[in-house]
Amino acid sequence: MKLTGGEIIAEFLIKEKVPYIIGIPGHGCLGLADAFIGREDRIGILQVKQEMAAVHMADGYYRITGKPLAVFTSIGPGAMNTAIGVATAYVDSTAVLVITGGTHTHMRGKGVLQEIERSHDANFPSVLEPIVKRHWKVERVEQLPSILPRAFNYMLTGRPGPVFIDLPMDVQCDAVEVNVSAFEKRKPVGRVCGDAREITKAAELLLQAKRPVFLLGGGVITSGAWKEVKELAEYIGAAVITTMMGKGAFPEDHQLYAWHAGSKGTTCGNYLASTADVLLAVGCRFADETTSSYKQGTSFSIPPTKVIHIDIDPTEIGKNYPVEVGIVGDAKAVLAAIVELVKSLQQKSDYRSNSYFKEIQQLKKEWFAHLDKLRTSDLEPVTISRALKEIREFLSREAIVVTSSGNTQAQVLQEFPFYKPRTCITTGGFSTMGFTLPASLGVKLAAPDKQVVGILGDGDFMMTMQELATAVQLNLPIVLLIFNNMGWISIKDLQMGAYGEERAFATDFVDKDGRVYSPDFKGIAANFGCYAERVEKAEEIKSALQRAFASGKPAVIEIIVNREYPYSGSPAVGWWDVPVPEYLAERRKQYELAREGEFLA
């Protein structure tokens, strides 16, 4: 069968059962876009309003299904707009196929419209090179039947991530004979099981532990290892904490769940992690926000805590902390082997009868009492904690919540419980503003029968609010909850906390006369065709949610939240390394003292 480059891509995506390709057509991808005409019954073509949103949308879809979507853009600015979305997917290890138009192979270096050529001819791939697992600069149409299967293998094996194909305009239109049925014969199958000797060491170490703690990262969810984690934790009575990306990997109303460690973690999570004798870390990076910037004794005490680290990516093991046992392997496969071995070595006992379990319950009780001061507050405007409490009480256990960055993300981490895997979708590594709305659309595509709620700040919303048009056009009835505090208030809080309350700068949204400014979000949403409300009291939130879901339309609920420090955010119970200028002498001294405790070996 003779196919053009564009047709080869279309047929390959159909063979791979990719349900949608998302993007914006332009002069640089006309040949690719045209190839999908007549194939719409086999693959959906979805239009967005900005290319970054296309990547975020595909990212959200992958996080629910574990299956990638394809993104297409034109040359130049259209391609460049994908960069933030691609970086978000790369840091969070999610799979997206990005295909952008490129300069004709016979016109490279001439500076044609939207070509980047001053240093190297047609050099856009070098822009994305640091933030993709692999990229290809196609030279001839004959290469595509080989490149496409490799692209999928790179995306989906090992540590997942985005891949990129630069597709010149002429290659999109050139044709070659292709055996389409051969596409499906290039797939690897199976899981990396880990070294048997190291698995034995891990099992023995866990059975010796008196204060075992599990730290679950996003790798647990990617691998689908939540059943094995739960079985092992219950077998040995381990306390379980999660990273931001690991939320939902363990039911957060389980008695062994101890929430989070880190700068915006919890008192119970930090204490248990820092006093553990054995820490089983699965699919996590030990990033600074989880470890309190590696300050010894604050979130972790490594050493003397002995670490068992399981990860599909060998570069993560030993990167930030020394390990007693390091196992390169798929989380589900390795944990299944550990569970089997532990069961063969020791009978299960009732963990509820030991003093460690009782200590976990007491520490959690103290944390919840601390939180309740904000969660039950009658302050007006409402605290974020109170708003989150009202939202959680309304939503089903299976509801999916999407959040991006700032105070909303931090407080969802600290206090919003999730009960199922793949129900908390967030940008844990890149903390990307503008992610929530488009990612929510991808989530709703993947889970049309579930409640999908995006919780975001006003600044976050304004970065991609044009995608409300996409929501309306595609009839994707997500509900967005805009926590409007009229500024970059998480950064303002950081300024005031680190530098002094008098040093907030350029973070309030104000007009030229210094008055606090906010657009009419309710009016904006309504003009896009969404259901819209504005809420100012905590007791109005649940009824507003009821009406939003009942509308059957994309919905926006603007909630006016408290912007006054410290009620604007959540308590920092750990530490985060925020450098302080030397001219702030007293605070600089405090900062340097705190830094002395960092473990940076």
Report whether the peptide linkage leading into residue 303 is cis, meaning its omega lies within 30 degrees of zero.
yes
Cα angle 498, 502, 503 (rounded to 5 degrees) comes to 55
**CA-wise closest residue to 438 among 461, 418, 412:** 461
Task: Say what percent of the chain tops pLDDT 90.
Answer: 90
Spell out the residues 6+ positions from residue 527 whose beta carbon is closer than 8 angstroms to its own.
none
Fold of 2-185: Rossmann fold (3.40.50)
**Residue 208 CB: number of other CB atoms within 10 A?**
11
Examine the pLDDT at 510 and tell me if it is beyond 90: yes
The pLDDT confidence band at residue 601, using thresholds 50, 70 and 90, is low
Cα–Cα distance, 420 to 146 (Å, whole number) = 39
Buried b (16+ CB within 10 A) or exposed e, 330-354: bbbbbbbbbbebbeeeeeeeebeee
Q: Which position has the token pair 């590696």? A: 294
Q: Which residues of 179-197 are buried (b: 16+ CB within 10 A; e: fewer)?
A: eeeebeeeeeeeeeebeee
Beta bridge partners of 453: 401, 479
pLDDT at residue 115, rounded to an integer: 84
205 pLDDT above the threshold of 80: yes
For 266-301, what is each residue's pLDDT tens digit? 999 999 999 999 999 999 999 999 999 999 999 999
Per-residue tokens: 27: 């002069």
Q: Is the pLDDT of residue 483 over 70?
A: yes
Q: For 555-597, write each residue's pLDDT tens digit.
A: 999 999 999 988 888 778 999 999 999 999 999 999 999 898 8
Computed on alpha carbons and rounded to an integer, the radius of gyration of the chain in Å comes to: 25
Paired tokens of 20: 């949608």
pLDDT in tens, 214-255: 999 999 999 999 999 999 999 999 999 999 999 999 999 999
DSSP secondary structure of 366-404: HHHHHHHHHHT---SSBPHHHHHHHHHHHS-TT-EEEE-
pLDDT at position 182, please?
A: 76
> Any residues with CB less than 8 A from the CB of 422 and at least 6 apart, and which?
63, 64, 221, 248, 400
- Which parts of 416-475 fold into alpha helices (H)? 436-446, 458-464, 468-474
Amino acid identity at 453:
V
SS3 at position 216: strand
Strand partners for 558: 482, 534
Size of the chain in residues: 601
Q: Which residues pair with 4 in a beta bridge?
A: 175
Q: What is the CATH number of domain 196-363?
A: 3.40.50.1220
Q: Is the pLDDT of residue 184 over 80?
A: no
Each residue of 38-78: pLDDT tens digit?
999 999 999 999 999 999 999 999 999 999 999 999 999 99
- Adjacent-strand bridge partners of 221: none
Separation between Cα atoms, residue 561 and residue 380, nearest integer Å: 8
Domains in the chain: boundaries: 2-185, 196-363, 376-560
Tokens of 598: 């960092």
Same fold, 196-363 and 376-560: yes
Contacts of 521 (CB under 8 A, 6+ apart): 458, 461, 482, 484, 532, 534, 556, 558
Superfamily (CATH H level) for 376-560: Thiamin diphosphate (ThDP)-binding fold, Pyr/PP domains (3.40.50.970)
Joined together, the tokens standing for residue 507 give: 């973070």
| 3-state helix, strand and coil shares in percent for the chain, rounded to the nearest 5 | 45, 15, 40
What residues form DSSP beta bridges with 308?
A: 280, 325
Reading the block at residue 106, the tokens are 């016979």
Say yes or no to pLDDT of 373 above 90. no
Residue 369: is it exposed, middle or buried by C-beta count within 10 angstroms (0-12/13-18/19+)?
exposed
| Cβ 224 vs Cβ 201: under 8 Å | no
Nearest to 53 by CA among 474, 533, 551, 549: 474
Burial degree of 396 (CB within 10 A; 0-12, 13-18, 19+): exposed
| Spatial separation of the C-alpha atoms in residues 315 and 131, rounded to whole Å | 16
Task: Tell me the mean pLDDT in the region 394-399.
Answer: 98
